[in-house]
């Protein structure tokens, strides 16, 4: 432990009695089961308030038992397995999606060392020298559940949702991994409790602001939440990867989504917001970071991130797929690479004995963050102006030479496809409708006598 005697030593994990390990595991499981129930109710209430609606108000006092009623309803529904599915993988897919979400929480620290029935133990199930990589690996495995669900369903729309999820995880796992790299390069450790200890004086959201912004965008993409909910896009793909699921299988996919929201929120709190440490000015109180109080600070920070998830869903429309891929590959990944190099350079100078002021790192982070936000804003603004398949031109379309536009046949493959950037749709002439084919304006079932009357 450190001089204050409140930070757990990673070498001390694994020596708790079995009943204490079982109790901590059970407490984490109950926390991850109850939080989604409250989150679903809070999401529906907050979105209703933002959109000037009522929201749930029938089941229980002011609708407070609505989430529980929905869970019971799903549990009592018949589980339908369509024909043509790959049954073993179809049944395993929701389990594969849900289990890793719970596993990732094993290395999240809830608080410092406390005494439980006379035993000194950390408020953390376990810790690893590579705990951050463990979380990244566990959350990555959960995506296989979505991919396999789309493939095993034997249907078009679930397959498209699974393919989207594959591209999504490839794009945004890279950016998320680079933000992790910046954190543990600067902290000098991959242990989650060690990263919290390194933020004793200054939270990393101030020192590593670009990493936090990139992680915040990536975690929304990783959890398939609006405006990045492309794998389930109910307006385009009916329901996406879980279209063919019902009953408890569907409930497990929803549980996995909300547990993943809690996990990435807890990880953001641990990496960038001091973990369980009290925020200023509560940190001025001597006992704020000892005992059981840090559990409260940690929970409040997690709920702040959950509110942002709900806020984004109630505010932003879904991005187009090309916007989503362009954001990941053309903005987030390049700037994450540049920022990792900046942090590694600062760390190298510190290792050589040259003290680099934190102010210089903060200023560099602000510059990189502003550039990222400016490019993001400019890209989204141009996308709204252009529309899909078009480009912003400096002169009217009528004055543009036809040689600059690539001819495009949307029916060349036998089914209609949208144009790529730089391609234009051919001009179609509407066939005039003959007078004999004109619809009778009278209502169906009416007679000429009715119309004359």
**Distance between terminal CA atoms of the chain?**
94
Structure tokens at 130: 């590579």
Mean pLDDT lowest for which of 66-75, 172-181, 263-272, 361-370?
361-370
- Predicted pLDDT of residue 357: 65
Kindly state the percentage of the chain with pLDDT values over 90: 26
Q: What is the mean pLDDT of residues 140-156?
A: 85
> Is residue 63 assigned to a domain?
yes
327-362 pLDDT, tens digit each:
888 888 988 998 898 888 888 877 777 766 667 777
- Predicted pLDDT of residue 298: 95
> Is residue 344 assigned to a domain?
no
CA geometry: angle 364, 367, 372, nearest 5 deg: 125
Asked whether residue 77 carries a pLDDT value surpassing 50, the answer given is yes
The number of domains in the chain is 1
Q: What is the mean pLDDT of the chain?
A: 81
- Predicted pLDDT of residue 395: 41
Mean pLDDT lowest for which of 99-103, 314-318, 446-450?
446-450
> Is residue 36 assigned to a domain?
yes
- Which domain does 71 fall in, by range? 10-281+290-321
Cα–Cα distance for residue pair 336/214, rounded to 1 Å: 7
User: Peptide bond preceding 281: is omega within 30 degrees of 0, i.e. cis?
Assistant: yes
> Is residue 303 assigned to a domain?
yes
- Predicted pLDDT of residue 453: 46
Query: Cα-Cα-Cα-Cα dihedral of 17, 18, 21, 24, to 10°?
Result: -100
- Predicted pLDDT of residue 30: 94
> Is residue 333 assigned to a domain?
no
Q: What is the mean pLDDT of residues 409-427?
A: 73
370-402 pLDDT, tens digit each:
887 787 777 666 655 555 444 444 444 444 444
Asked whether residue 62 carries a pLDDT value surpassing 50, the answer given is yes
Cα–Cα distance for residue pair 311/319, rounded to 1 Å: 16
> Is residue 390 assigned to a domain?
no
pTM of the model: 0.79
Residues in Cβ contact with 194 at an 8 Å cutoff, skipping those fewer than 6 apart: 10, 187, 188
Residues 394-427 as b/e (b if ≥16 CB within 10 A, e otherwise) read: eeeeeeeeeeeeeebeeeeeeeeeebeeeebeee
**Residue pair 98/92 in contact by the 8 Å Cβ criterion:** no
194-252 pLDDT, tens digit each:
999 999 888 999 889 889 999 999 999 888 888 888 877 777 777 788 888 988 898 99
> Is residue 392 assigned to a domain?
no
Q: Which alpha helices (H) appear in 244-292, and where do they start and end?
A: 247-272
Kindly state the percentage of the chain with pLDDT values over 70: 83
154-168 pLDDT, tens digit each:
888 888 888 888 788
> Is residue 58 assigned to a domain?
yes
């Amino acid at each position: 432990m450190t001089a204050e005697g409140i930070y757990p030593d990673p070498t001390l994990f694994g020596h708790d009695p079995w009943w204490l390990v079982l109790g901590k595991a059970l407490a984490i499981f109950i926390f991850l089961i109850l939080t989604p129930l409250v989150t679903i109710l809070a999401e529906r209430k907050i979105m209703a308030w933002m959109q000037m609606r009522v929201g749930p108000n029938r089941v229980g006092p002011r609708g407070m038992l609505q989430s529980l009623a929905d869970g019971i309803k799903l549990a009592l529904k018949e589980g339908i397995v369509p024909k043509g599915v790959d049954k073993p993988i179809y049944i395993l897919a929701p389990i594969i999606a849900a289990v890793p979400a719970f596993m990732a929480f094993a290395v999240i620290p809830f608080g410092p060392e406390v005494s439980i029935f006379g035993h000194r133990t950390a408020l953390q199930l376990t810790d690893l020298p590579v705990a951050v990589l463990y979380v990244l690996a566990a959350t990555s495995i959960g995506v296989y559940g979505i991919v396999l669900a789309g493939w095993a369903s034997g249907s078009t729309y679930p397959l498209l949702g699974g393919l989207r999820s594959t591209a999504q995880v490839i794009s945004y796992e890279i950016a998320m991994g680079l933000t992790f790299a910046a954190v543990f390069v600067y902290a000098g450790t991959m242990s989650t409790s060690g990263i919290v200890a390194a933020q004793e004086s200054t939270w990393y959201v101030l020192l590593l602001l670009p990493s936090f912004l990139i992680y915040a965008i990536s975690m929304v993409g990783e959890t398939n939440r609006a405006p990045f909910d492309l794998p389930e896009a109910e307006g385009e793909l009916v329901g996406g990867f879980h279209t063919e699921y019902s009953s408890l299988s569907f409930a497990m996919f929803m549980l996995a989504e909300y547990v993943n929201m809690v996990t990435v929120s807890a990880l953001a709190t641990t990496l960038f917001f001091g973990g369980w440490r009290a925020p200023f000015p509560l940190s001025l109180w001597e006992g704020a970071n000892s005992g059981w109080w840090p559990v409260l600070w940690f929970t409040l920070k997690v709920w702040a991130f959950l509110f942002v998830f709900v806020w984004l869903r109630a505010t932003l429309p879904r991005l187009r797929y090309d916007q989503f891929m362009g954001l990941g590959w053309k903005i987030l990944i390049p700037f994450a690479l540049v920022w990792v190099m900046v942090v590694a350079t600062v760390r190298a100078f510190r290792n050589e004995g040259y003290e680099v002021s934190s102010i210089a790192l903060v200023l560099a982070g602000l510059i990189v963050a502003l550039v990222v936000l400016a490019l993001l804003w400019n890209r989204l603004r141009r996308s709204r102006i252009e529309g899909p398949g078009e480009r912003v031109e400096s002169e009217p379309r009528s004055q543009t030479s036809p040689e600059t536009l690539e001819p495009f046949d949307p029916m060349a493959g036998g089914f209609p496809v949208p144009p790529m950037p730089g391609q234009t749709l051919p001009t179609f002439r509407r066939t005039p409708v003959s007078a004999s084919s004109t619809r009778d304006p009278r209502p169906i079932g009416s007679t000429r006598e009715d119309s004359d009357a």
